[in-house]
């Protein structure tokens, strides 16, 4: 045989010697070549992109599917153990492998205090660094944040009614005297009447006079009917809806007061003839008055005629800005006939219409050396109200009138 024929015979013999690969063997080789799937991939199967397969390859795949035998599902791999679990497992295996040691060897093998300190892992070191950085940022944030201003507490007490100051100076009686002379001595000890050369009549009921506390006590009934505080701004009125006019008696305790209303004529002097005005301001006075009987309040005639104690008058009215004149005060010291005027006070303060309301305005006066014969005091004040797009009032509070010894 020639050389080319010999080579052809060798090739054919090699091809005959090659084992035939069946379809089952091909599937097994594919299963071995498949990459192992992790737990995460098994839980969440990846969505493969759809590929366009030619018809010839589709037919081949269909033939392979028909020839494919029952394939066993590969067993799932156990999840990988964490670093801590690996350390625990290695520790247990080391403990199992450790041989039993004698007492001397155990003493030698006991670790020192330095060795007991566990080394910080990189993860723990990173956590500590992040915590310190967070604390520093928080500290800088709080330090840069503006702090609220500190206000000093004012040492000045709020404005108080002077009548309350006089009442606080009067101590309570621990044991009441049994005789009229005992009440007189108690009255003398408290007020020092003889030192002021005040006449003390024998027929006076000193027990009743002492209990009435005639000096430094507000003689007006219901001095603050609406319960308003002069240390706080007056409450603001609601404008939506506009305030309606209500009976004054429904707004507080006005017992002891005689209440009346004085209508003020509407001023049309600035309205040109023939002009129709829809809303014109209509003003009115709210008048409140009392008549005080001084003898029933504990002030005896000899005291009023000879000594003539000072008579204090105080009143607070709202800076309502309704008009230039929103308040009037009229006080008369009257004789026994209630007509003869011994002294008189008439105040009509003028108020600025511009600017913000000041809250409360106070008026005051002291009657001195008014002469003998005083028996009654007539107290009257007026507050102006406005009726336009609602009813608006000027309020009054803490009206005060009391008698006080001098010195």
CA–chain centroid gap for 249, Å, is: 34
Predicted model pTM: 0.58
Give the pair of three-digit tokens for residue 156.
């000045």
Q: What is the pLDDT of residues 209-232, one digit of tens each?
A: 999 999 999 999 999 999 998 999
Tell me if residue 9 falls in helix, strand or coil. Answer: helix
- Stronger pLDDT, 187 or 57, i.e. the higher one: 187
Starting from the edge strand earliest in sequence, which strands make up the sheet with 310-318, in order?
360-367, 310-318, 396-404
Range with lowest mean pLDDT among 1-15, 156-170, 320-334: 156-170
pLDDT at 250: 87
pLDDT of res. 157 = 42
Neighbour tally for 257: CB within 10 Å = 20
For domain 218-265+279-404, the CATH superfamily is: Galactose-binding domain-like (2.60.120.260)
> Mean of the pLDDT values across residues 5-26?
51
DSSP lists the bridge partners of residue 314 as 364, 400
Per-residue pLDDT reduced to its tens digit, 83-127: 555 554 454 444 444 445 555 555 445 555 555 455 555 545 545
List, in sequence order, every residue forming a beta bridge with 315; answer none if it has no partner.
363
Mean pLDDT of 315-322: 95
CA angle 224, 296, 301 (to 5 degrees): 125
| In the predicted structure, residue 1 carries a pLDDT above the cut 80 | no
In the prediction, which pLDDT does 228 show? 93
Distance CA 138, CA 115 (A): 36
| Alpha-carbon span 333 to 314, nearest angstrom | 15
* 151-156: average pLDDT: 36
Mean pLDDT of 254-277: 85
Q: Flag whether pLDDT at 279 surpasses 80.
A: no
| Domain coordinates in residue numbering, the chain | 218-265+279-404
% of the chain residues with pLDDT over 90: 39
Cβ proximity of 375 and 334 under 8 Å: yes
Is residue 144 over pLDDT 70?
A: no
Instruction: Determine contact, residues 312/396, Cβ cutoff 8 Å.
Output: no
pLDDT on residue 373: 97
pLDDT, residue 93, reads 47
List all residues 6 or more positions away from 404 whose beta carbon is below 8 Å from its beta carbon. 166, 215, 216, 309, 310, 312
CA distance 75 to 349: 104
Please give the structure tokens belonging to residue 359. Answer: 């809250």
């Amino acid at each position: 045989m020639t050389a080319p024929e010999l080579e052809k015979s060798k090739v054919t013999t090699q091809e005959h010697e090659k084992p035939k690969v069946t379809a089952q063997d091909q599937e097994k080789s594919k299963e071995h070549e498949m990459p192992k799937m992790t737990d995460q991939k098994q839980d969440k199967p990846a969505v493969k992109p759809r590929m366009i397969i030619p018809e010839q390859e589709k037919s081949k795949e269909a033939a392979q599917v028909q020839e494919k035998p029952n394939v066993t599902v590969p067993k799932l791999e156990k999840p990988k153990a964490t670093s801590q679990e690996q350390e625990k497992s290695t520790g247990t295996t080391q403990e199992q492998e450790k041989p039993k040691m004698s007492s001397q060897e155990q003493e030698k093998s006991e670790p020192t205090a330095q060795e007991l300190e566990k080394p910080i892992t990189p993860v723990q070191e990173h956590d500590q660094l992040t915590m310190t950085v967070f604390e520093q940022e928080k500290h800088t944030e709080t330090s840069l944040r503006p702090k609220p201003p500190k206000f000093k507490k004012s040492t000045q007490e709020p404005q108080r009614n002077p009548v309350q100051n006089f009442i606080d100076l009067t101590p309570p009686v621990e044991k009441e005297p049994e005789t009229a002379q005992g009440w007189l001595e108690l009255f003398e000890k408290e007020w020092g009447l003889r030192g002021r050369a005040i006449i003390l009549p024998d027929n006076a009921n000193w027990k009743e006079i002492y209990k009435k506390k005639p000096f430094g006590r507000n003689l007006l009934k219901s001095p603050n009917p609406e319960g308003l505080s002069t240390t706080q701004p007056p409450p603001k009125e609601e404008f939506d809806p506009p305030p309606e006019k209500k009976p004054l008696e429904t707004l507080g305790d006005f017992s002891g007061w005689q209440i009346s209303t004085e209508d003020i004529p509407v001023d049309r002097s600035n309205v040109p003839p023939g002009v129709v005005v829809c809303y014109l301001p209509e003003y009115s006075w709210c008048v409140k008055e009392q008549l005080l009987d001084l003898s029933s309040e504990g002030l005896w005639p000899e005291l009023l005629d000879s000594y003539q104690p000072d008579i204090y008058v105080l009143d607070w009215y709202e800076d309502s800005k309704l008009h230039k004149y929103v308040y009037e005060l009229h006080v008369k010291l009257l004789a026994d006939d209630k007509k003869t005027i011994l002294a008189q006070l008439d105040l009509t303060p003028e108020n600025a219409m511009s600017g913000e309301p000041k809250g409360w305005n106070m008026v005051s006066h002291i009657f001195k050396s008014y002469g003998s014969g005083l028996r009654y005091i007539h107290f009257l004040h007026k507050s102006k109200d406005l009726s336009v797009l609602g009813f608006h009032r000027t309020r009054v509070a803490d009206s005060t009138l009391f008698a006080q010894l001098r010195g």
